[in-house]
Structure 1
Amino acid sequence: MGNVLGKQLQTFNWRRILWRYLLIGLVMAALIVLNVCFPDRALASLDDDRYDGNIFALYAGNGAIVPPKVSLAQSLKQKKPTLLFFYVDDSRDCKESSFVISQLQAPYGRVANFVPVMADAIPLKEAFGANEPGYYFQGSVPQTLLLDEEGKVQFNQTGALKYETVDDVFRKIFDLLPREESQELLRRPVNELNVELVPAE
C-alpha cells in the first residue's frame, strides 16, 4: 500500500511541475511576441492620469529635483525664497507642470530652494506648523507656492502653471527688472515635451 501511495505522489508532483513550467513558458512567449510586434511603443504618456514613474525624471528631464535637497523647514531657516510644488506622479496636470518647475530651477535654483512634495506623502494630522508642507496644501494638485525669504506666501496657484507667471513673482522677490524692461526670451522646442528660453533675435 505504501508503494502505491509513493507512486501516486511522484506522478502528482511531476504533473504539477510540468504545468508550472508550461505556464511560465507561455507567459514568456506572449511577452516576446508583444515585444517583437510592438517594439517602439512606450507606455508612458503625458496625456493621461496613469502612473509612469517619477514625473520630473520622465517629463521634465530633471531627476535631480527629487528628492529635494532641503526640506521646507530647512529652507525657511536658511531665509531663502522657496518654491513649494505639490504633485502626484499620476496626474496629467502635474506631468505638464513638472517641466515648468524644472525650467524655473535653471535661473533661480542657486538663489532659491525648490521643494517638490508628493501630496500622497503628506501625513494625516489635525494641525501643521508653518514649517511643514501640510500647512500650505489645499487638497488639489498641482499646487505651486512661492514663499519669500521671510516665509510669507507671495504666490499660490492650483492647476496649470505658466513659466511667465511664476517668473514675474520671482523677479519681484529678487528686485529684478520686470519682463517688459528686460531682454525678451522666446520659447524654442527642445523635444516633444520640453522647451528652452532663448533671446529674441
Structure 2
Amino acid sequence: MAPLLQLVIGLTAALLLWVAPVGAILNTDSYDGNIYALYAGNGSLVPPASTLGEAMDSGRTSVVIYYLDDSAVSKRFAPVVSELQRLWGQNIELIPLTTDGLQGRPASGAKDPATYWNGSIPQVVVIGPDSRLVFDRDGQVPLSEINQAISSATGLPAPDLGDINQDGSFNEVNVEVTSN
C-alpha cells in the first residue's frame, strides 16, 4: 500500500508542477482580462459611466477610446487612458469602448460610436460639446496631443505634463507614454 500511496503523491506533485502559472503578458495579442485593471491599475474605466449619446445630449466633451482587450498595442496604450482620467476628471466624458461590438455593423448616426471608428486600434476621438469632431488619431497617440485636443474642445487650459514620467513604468510594466 505504501508504494501505491507514494506513486499517487508523486504523480499529483508532478501534475501540479507541470501546469504553467497564469500570467498576463503585455506584448502579446492574448486575452488577459480587463486591460485597464491589469496594465493601467484602473478597472473603473470600463464600463464607461455614460454612452456617447448621453454625453452629446448633455453637451459634454467626449473622448472615445477604441480598443481590444486582446491587443498588445491596446495594452500598451491603457496607461495613457488612465492618465487622461486623472488629468481631466469630471471635465470630460471618457468612453473606452471595445471594438468587438462595432465590427461589421453599420453606423446609425452621430451618437453611435461606430460612426467614428475607422477600423484601427487604439483610436482616440475627441468630440466637442457642440458634437463637432475635434481630434481623430490612431495608434500610440502622444498624451500631449490628446491633452491639447481636449483643451481645445473644452476651452480649459491643458494640465501641465511636466511632472509626469512619460517614459516611466506602471505596475512594473514599461509603457509607451510619449510627449512628442
TM-score bucket of the superposed structures, by smaller chain: 0.7 to 0.9
Q: Is the 8 A contact 2:106 2:114 kept in 1?
A: no
Q: Is the 8 A contact 1:60 1:194 kept in 2?
A: no
Unaligned runs of 5+ in 2: 1-10, 176-180
Higher helix share: 1
Aligned to 1:184: 162
In the alignment of these two chains, the number of paired residues is: 164
The partner residue of 1:135 within 107, 115, 119 is 115
The partner residue of 1:152 within 132, 137, 141 is 132
- In 1: Cα distance, 2:86 partner to 2:71 partner: 24
The partner residue of 2:92 within 112, 117, 122 is 112
Aligned to 1:94: 74
- In 2: Cα distance, 1:61 partner to 1:53 partner: 12
CA-to-aligned-CA distance 1:129-165 (integer Å, 9 cap, x gap)? 1100111111111111011111111110111122111
- In 2: Cα distance, 1:154 partner to 1:127 partner: 19
Based on CA coordinates, which of the two structures has the bigger radius of gyration? 1
- In 2: Cα distance, 1:122 partner to 1:82 partner: 18
- Mark the CA change 1:77 to 1:194 in structure 2 (over 3 Å): closer, same or farther: farther
Aligned to 1:15: none
- Mark the CA change 1:52 to 1:84 in structure 2 (over 3 Å): closer, same or farther: same
Aligned to 2:4: none
Report the more deviating stretch, 120-129 or 100-109: 120-129
CA-to-aligned-CA distance 1:173-199 (integer Å, 9 cap, x gap)? 2334467xx68334164542378xxxx
- In 2: Cα distance, 1:134 partner to 1:119 partner: 9
Aligned to 1:75: 55
Q: What percentage of aligned pairs have identical amino acids?
A: 31
Q: Is the 8 A contact 1:147 1:154 kept in 2?
A: yes
TM-score when normalising by structure 2: 0.80
Question: Relative CO higher for 1 or 2, CA cutoff 8 Å, sep ≥ 6?
Answer: 2
Amino acid at match of 2:163: L
- Mark the CA change 1:118 to 1:29 in structure 2 (over 3 Å): closer, same or farther: same
TM-score when normalising by structure 1: 0.72
**Is 1:34 aligned to 2:12, yes or no?**
no
- In 2: Cα distance, 1:42 partner to 1:138 partner: 34
Aligned to 2:27: 47
- In 1: Cα distance, 2:98 partner to 2:123 partner: 11
Aligned to 2:8: none
- Mark the CA change 1:44 to 1:133 in structure 2 (over 3 Å): closer, same or farther: same
Pairwise CA distance, 1:46: 0.8
- In 2: Cα distance, 1:102 partner to 1:178 partner: 16
Q: Is the 8 A contact 1:60 1:193 kept in 2?
A: no
Aligned to 2:152: 172
Q: RMSD across aligned C-alpha pairs, in angstroms?
A: 2.6
Q: Is the 8 A contact 2:107 2:113 kept in 1?
A: no
Amino acid at match of 1:77: D
CA-to-aligned-CA distance 1:89-122 (integer Å, 9 cap, x gap)? 1111100111101101112120100111110112
